[in-house]
Amino acid sequence: MRTAPTILHLDMDAFFASVEQASKPSLRGKAVVVGGLGPRGVVATASYEARVFGVHSAMPMGQARRLAPNAAYLVPRFNFYRSISERVMELLRALSPLVEPLSLDEAFVDLEAGGVAWDERSARLAGVKLRADIRAVTGLTGSVGLAASKMLAKIASEEAKPDGLVVIEPGTERAMLAPMSVRTLPGVGPATGDHLRRAGITTVEEIVEAGEDELVRLLGKAHGHGLHAMALARDDRPVVAERETKSVSVEDTYDVDIHDRTRVGLEVQRLAERCVRRLRGAGLSGRTIVLKVRRYDFSTLTRSETLRGPTDDPGVIREAAARLLDSVDTTGGVRLLGVGVSGLADYTQEDLFAQAAGERAVAEGPVEEHAVAAAEEQPSLAERRWPAGHDVRHAEFGHGWVQGSGLGRVTVRFETPDSEPGRVRTFRVDDPDLEAADPLPLVLRGTEGGDEAPGTAAQAVSSVPASLPKSWSGSGGGAATSRP
């Protein structure tokens, strides 16, 4: 363990939903839910205003709609979220060469390795500056935790939410952790938490009191040892700058079970093509092709085939996925399909016979390629062209976003990140003056220095609902806490 809180954990506040609120003035301060909108969709992110109603990530979208029927339900814009994430990660890499991204909106930073922090005061100043820089560059808020270990830094950032900063000073960790729920510790999910509760263990302090031997008896050797160490605030894991990618995969969940075997085969071919694009985009190849099938009864099957050498050839991967599908019974219907590649490498050693076969299939089978395209076109025009929340531009009314579509009509609200809430208009889905558009930047380039005038987007946007305090200070269990 370190003697100073120089490990930083950043977690952007309700990231996807906050981006949508920043993009859409009419949604600021209102409940926003981002995720799949179909019958089997799940919540990706909910704004803090939506969380008041009990909506949370990974919840079935149908349940979310029942809890918050008046919320705005939007389809994710992952490319836009990724572009904003890249700007945040650039700020983190300016602090240290050791940045460990966990997702688009979350990362660890070793401040000591960057020479920007060596004690509690310098670490706090680095955290305060980072939060200000993120707001200036993106118009969004992030919560920061600072501690002497990764586990405690992550717990601190969770305590800081939303839009805050919490420092856990070395020497105060045990007192801070003691009254917390066992679910606070990494790796303690609902099942483990329930198992511990039945044994009379509900807090971190009770884990310590139970002792390592009892935890091993309850949870097994590896989990028991690890959990006891975490309860004692022991965590020596380093911040790792580059986390090795173990696999590349894509999958789709279907609103209606697919029963037709031909359609299943075409979907697998389409997923293989998408997987190859993602593989090549990362500059990788792989030896093991994996097929995932979730059937009508929720049973999930995986099949894999390992090639003689790594490949990124679409023909080879399509053929392998098709062979794997031949071994799976899909008679009752399929609700999810996925194709992945593992055993990754940064070079290829092609199977020339398979590649040649793949090229022949492409040359001799244009009908199949058309069929794959036709399968992708199956959703209605309105659903394909006008997903809720996505950007559009009208020749007369300018930039806007889709509020909804159906029955041959699409409803658009015309506004931009730095405008007042805009007006709503309805058009035919095939209106020639309406077209899809790229998202607009959340913060004007000229205002990124942090000296923007009052009323600009960077100052106006906050993911914190009006009912939550925007400043707070205090201490608990010896932890130094600050929300500047």
Residue set of the binding site for Mg(2+): 11, 105
Q: How would you classify residue 167: left for phi > 0, otherwise alpha for psi between -120 and 50, otherwise beta?
A: beta
134 vs 105: CA distance, rounded Å: 12
β-pair type (398-406, 334-345):
unpaired
Do residues 57 and 44 lie in contact, with contact meaning Cβ atoms separated by under 8 Å? yes
269 vs 275: CA distance, rounded Å: 10
Cβ neighbours for 237, distance < 8 A, ≥ 6 positions apart: 149, 150, 151
> φ, ψ for residue 125 (rounded to 5)?
-60, -40
Separation of CA 120 from chain center:
31
In terms of Cα–Cα distance, which of 153, 152, 135 is closest to 144?
A: 153
365 vs 362: CA distance, rounded Å: 5
Residue numbers belonging to the annotated binding site:
11, 105
In terms of Cα–Cα distance, which of 114, 150, 144 is closest to 129?
A: 144
325 vs 251: CA distance, rounded Å: 14
Do residues 119 and 127 lie in contact, with contact meaning Cβ atoms separated by under 8 Å? no
390 vs 76: CA distance, rounded Å: 8
Do residues 358 and 303 lie in contact, with contact meaning Cβ atoms separated by under 8 Å? no
Two tokens, residue 267: 């979907």
Q: Around Cβ 316, how many Cβ atoms within 10 Å?
A: 25
Of these residues, 20, 100, 106, 159, which one is catalytic?
106
Q: Is 209 a catalytic residue?
A: no
DSSP 413-466: EE--TTS---EEEEEETT-TTEEE-PPPPSS-GGGTTS-PPTTSHHHH--SS-T
Angle of the 352-364 helix axis to the 366-376 helix axis, nearest 10: 80
Q: Which residues are catalytic?
A: 106
